[in-house]
Amino acid sequence: MDVKKRSGDKAAQEMIEHMAEKGQENIWDRLDAQSPQCGFGKSGVCCRICTMGPCRISKKAPLGVCGADVDTIVARNFLRAVAGGTSAHSDHGRTVAEAFVAAAREETKDYKMKDIAKLHALAKELGVETKGRTANEIGIDVGEIALAEFGKSRGTQLMTKRAPKPRQKIWEKQGVVPRAIDREVVEAIHRSTMGVDQDYLSLLNHASRTALADGWGGSMLATELQDILFGTPSPGVGEVNLGVISKDEVNIIVHGHDPLMSEILAEAASLPEMVEKAKQAGAKGIAVSGLCCTANELLARHGIPIAGNFLCQELAIATGAVEMMAVDVQCVMQGLAKVASHYHTKLFTTAHQAKMTDVEHVEIDEKDALNIAKRLVIAAIDNYKNRGEIKIPDDKETGVMGFTNESIKYMLGGRFRASYRPLNDNIINGKIRGIAAIVGCSNPKVPMDSTPLAMAKELIKRDVLVLTTGCATVACGKRAMLDSNEALKLAGSGLRQVCETVGIPPILACGSCIDNSRLLVATAEIVAEGGLGEDINELPLAGACLESITEKALAIGQYFVASGVKVFFSDALFPFQGSDNVMEYLLGGISNDLGGQWALESDPVKAAELMLEHIEAKRVALGLKDETERKLLGMEERREL
């Protein structure tokens, strides 16, 4: 085993070696056991949606039993993946919307709306009367409207109105304005079942509509409602990496995506009675930390440290110092249960949608959430005495996280003149060449964290402002790239000058996977600010996710593409390359219809170069000139002007 091929991060290397010494299996071992993986699956040419199959397309057998060709099969697989991702984000959003309504109706005492200013702003946008009404009255109406977005029988997604007008026209022309979120997902599965939609372009068009229901629907609603319910994040400093696990406190790790569980557990763990109980158990206190996207949310709102991203989950338990891990939905490996069985760690599932065989399920029912959370915290405290030998890596870094549209505009323009104007001006004058979104997961097929780090470093060096979300954010945090001072050392002079002037780091950590919707809103607002074209596809902007793992990443990629953005994925992790026609459309033709497109490149430095090339081409198309020094004009020159 070459540990460097698994991770470049010292803390992870240490724990991978530790697990190997103990003969414990982890995700990389399982990947080895699965190798070589099926070539048909890798290229997306297998179909098993009916019992005449499974069918695998090859030169010898170019058609499935039903006559489906490779284009149909690959496009169906792509659409189903996008529908899977959309359903994940949207089901998360619906759960939040339900809790939001329960909070507004005062059916729970444990969740209360925190950001009332944002509630008023959203109410105004949704046409909800605010005058003379209490926050809860407004909240009920806002929450019910949000809930209806998932299953309404008529009309289209309300949040799509946030997009620039020309973008909305393009969506109308292409027939991709999303209707109810559930409807788009159901229709995606229907269209891609045996004997229904057999035109690859039609299938791919519905993939755009489904993905837009995610980005401008389920994900965006989830972000808005979470901000109101738990508070809109503001930039703050926090620690990242396995070194945040405490040697002498009761360690509780929350993992997953939905803040309903992580927020209430963090609250319960901070109660003086719980801390006292932990001390009585011989610990110094209680240390809560997070994994994956829920960690991004907790750090952004409360400064709670991040133990790691997706690939760190088993490694965290292998420290032997985790008394309890509570998981909810998405990106939770089934392998956790096996690793936990080697240690004293108590693993709990907490979401009604996600249970694990032989793992205790304690559902966080919003009506009694705090009491349930307290019971979990007590279980962790009681487990402290069972702790055996521990091995916690020292490594951790600090970084600034928790950027939102609101906070970026505030930092750029101040409280009374909050706007993207200074950013637009600095893109126009060339100090900042453009914007790159680096998002997504950490995949064991790639040395852990290597791609977001390499891309982010390369792009800031070339004066591109980087926005990150998800596990890519955690990757940057682990290597001090969210530390303004460290990152600014690598930034190009133009970007550095702007960042130092307004006080932002060159890599802005913008939250979790669903918070990619924040980036959509940012693009719309940058367009509205003026000077950079009329639509998102005109912006000097590109996106990348070179370590994608989940269907969610594909849904995110497709909603960015359908919103006009060029999106880079790794060619090694894009399992749809078995159809030339599908690939030709996704990599090119789709830009004629929607302005954005996919691009494939597995080398992060090359990908960064290609992103920069794209950004520069957009600058040329906008007629933007290179940076010019400010010059005091004489009277003669002014007259001439």
* Residues binding ligand MSK (CB under 6 A): 257, 292-293, 309-310, 331, 440-441, 470-471, 512-513, 549-550, 552-553
* Minimum separation from the CB atom of position 538 to ligand SF4 (A): 40
Angstrom CA distances, 575 to 231, 445, 474, 556, 578, stand at 38, 14, 25, 16, 8
Q: How far is the CB of 587 from ligand SF4 (least distance, A)?
A: 24
CA distance 503 to 491: 14
Binding partner selected for residue 283 from ligand MSK, ligand SF4, none, CB under the kind-specific 5 to 8 Å limit: none
Half-sphere exposure of 590 (CA within 13 A, CB side): 34
236 binds ligand SF4 (CB under 6 A): no
Is residue 430 a contact point for ligand SF4 (CB under 6 A)? no
Quote the DSSP letter at residue 506.
Answer: S
CB 533 within 8 A of CB 562: no
Give the DSSP letter string of 197-243.
---HHHHHHHHHHHHHHIIIIIHHHHHHHHHHHH-----EEEEESGG
**Which tokens in the block code for residue 38?**
């099926």
Q: Are 473 and 290 in contact (CB under 8 A)?
A: no
Closer CB to ligand SF4, residue 52 or residue 116? 52
Between 55 and 213, name the residue whose CB sits nearer to ligand SF4.
55
The partner in contact with residue 380, picked from ligand SF4, ligand MSK, none with C-beta cut-offs of 5 to 8 angstroms by kind, is none
604 and 545 Cβ atoms separated by less than 8 Å: no
Q: Does 189 bind ligand SF4 (CB under 6 A)?
A: no
At a CB cut-off of 8 Å and minimum separation 6, what does 386 contact? 344
Q: Give the nearest distance from C-beta 75 to ligand SF4 in angstroms.
A: 12
- Containing 3, the helix (H) or strand (E) segment is helix 3-6
48-56, 151-159, 307-315, 363-371 -> range binding ligand SF4 (CB under 6 A)? 48-56
Please provide residue 465's backbone torsions phi and psi, each rounded to the nearest 5 degrees. Answer: -75, 130
Residue with smaller CB distance to ligand SF4, 45 or 286 = 45
Tokens describing residue 561: 């593409």
* Token pair for 409: 């505009």
CB under 6 A: which stretch of 66-74, 214-222, 228-236, 447-455 binds ligand SF4?
66-74
**Nearest approach, Cβ of residue 474 and ligand MSK (Å):** 8
Residue among 93 and 540 whose Cβ is closer to ligand MSK: 93
75 binds ligand SF4 (CB under 6 A): no
Does the protein bind ligand SF4 through residue 53 (CB under 6 A)?
Answer: yes
Residue with tokens 């440290």: 305
Determine, following the binding rule CB under 6 A, whether residue 66 of this chain makes contact with ligand SF4: yes
Candidates 62-70, 124-132, 346-354, 444-452: pick the segment binding ligand SF4 (CB under 6 A): 62-70
Q: How far is the CB of 556 from ligand MSK (least distance, A)?
A: 9
Which member of 31, 65, 418, 587 binds ligand SF4 (CB under 6 A)? 65
Minimal CA–CA distance to 214: which of 538, 530, 563?
563
**Beta-strand (E) ranges in 167-222?**
none
Give the nearer residue to ligand SF4 in terms of CB position, either 70 or 212.
Answer: 70
Min dist CB 254 to ligand MSK, Å, is: 13
Please report, for residues 86, 437, 456, the alpha-carbon distance to residue 430 in angstroms, rounded to integers and kept in the order given: 36, 18, 19
Which of ligand MSK, ligand SF4, none does 578 bind, CB closer than 5 to 8 A by kind?
none
User: 502 touches which of ligand SF4, ligand MSK, none (CB within 5 to 8 A by kind)?
Assistant: none
Peptide bond into 272 cis (omega under 30): no
- End-to-end distance of the chain based on CA atoms, in angstroms? 68
Asked if residue 30 binds ligand SF4 (CB under 6 A), the reply is: no
The 8-class DSSP code of residue 441 comes to -
Q: Which is nearer to ligand SF4, 121 or 194 (CB)?
A: 194
Q: Are 230 and 267 in contact (CB under 8 A)?
A: no
Contacts of ligand SF4 in 152-171 (CB under 6 A): none
Decide: helix, strand or coil at residue 159. helix
Applying CB under 6 A, which residues contact ligand SF4?
47-50, 52-55, 64-66, 68, 73, 194
